[in-house]
Amino acid sequence: MRLSVAAAISHGRVHRRLGLNPRSRLDLLRNLVTALVRHERIEAPWARADEMRGYAERLIEYAKLGDTDERAMRMANFWLTEKDLIHKLFKVLAPRFQPHPGSYTRLLQIPNRDNLDRAKMAVIELKGNPFPPLITPRRDTDKTLLNQLLKGYRQDMQQAAAP
């Protein structure tokens, strides 16, 4: 059993290190959260979007507590750098997500960025945004092979049962 940890090994460590230092990481995430609340759909590197998702969802949970709550207002004041978005958060997003118990965001991976770095990118959006949907759910049509076979089987069963 390894009793001392080598500094350069990071097996199993879950906390990501973004930016220059912890303060810079929080500033980065804060900018992303502000952009998400403003535009409701953002493209960002996957690691940053994944990190930001937790903070955004907790912010919405705080907003659900209401406008008059002191802690909620202080959180919104810290996390949203553009102050007109505080109004949007409490008046638009909180009522929109009131019936939902959790998971207010959707994170989907995009093809890698076209630059030299080929970074893994993701698009993160708030559910219920006015923009066109990113994934259209496909309904099963009757024309697929499996459905045709099942239909035939059902008809055979009915003919065998009827006469």
Partner 1 sequence: ALVVVFSPLPRLRGLLQRCWGRLERGLLPGFCGGWSPPWGPALAVQAPAFVPEPVSDTGESGEVPSLFDSILWMAAPKKRRTIEVNRCRRRNPNKLIKVKRNIDVCPECGNLKQKHVLCGYCYAKVKAETQLIRMEIRKKEGGPFNTPTVETVVLYEGEKPTEEDKGKRIIERARKRPSWFVQN
In the complex with partner 1, the residue whose CB is nearer, 109 or 155, is 109
10 vs 112 by CB, closer to partner 1: 112
Could you say whether residue 30 binds partner 1 (CB under 8 A)?
no
Region of 7-15, 63-71, 80-88, 155-163 interacting with partner 1 (CB under 8 A): 80-88
Q: What b/e sequence results for 22-38 when a residue is b if at least 16 CB atoms lie within 10 Å of its CB, and e otherwise? A: eeebeebbbebbebbbe
151 binds partner 1 (CB under 8 A): no
Q: Is 38 in the site for partner 1 (CB under 8 A)?
A: yes
Q: Are 80 and 86 in contact (CB under 8 A)?
A: yes
Identified binder of partner 1 from the candidate list 84, 117, 140, 142, rule CB under 8 A = 84
CB 107 within 8 A of CB 50: yes
Residue 99 sits in the site that holds partner 1 (CB under 8 A): no
What single letter denotes the amino acid at residue 31?
N
Are the C-beta atoms of 81 and 30 separated by less than 8 Å? yes
Selected range binding partner 1 among 19-27, 38-46, 60-68, 99-107, rule: CB under 8 A: 38-46
Is 133 near partner 1 (CB under 8 A)?
yes
Helix (H, G, I), strand (E, B) or coil at 64: helix
Q: Are strands 105-109 and 121-126 parallel, antiparallel or unpaired?
A: antiparallel
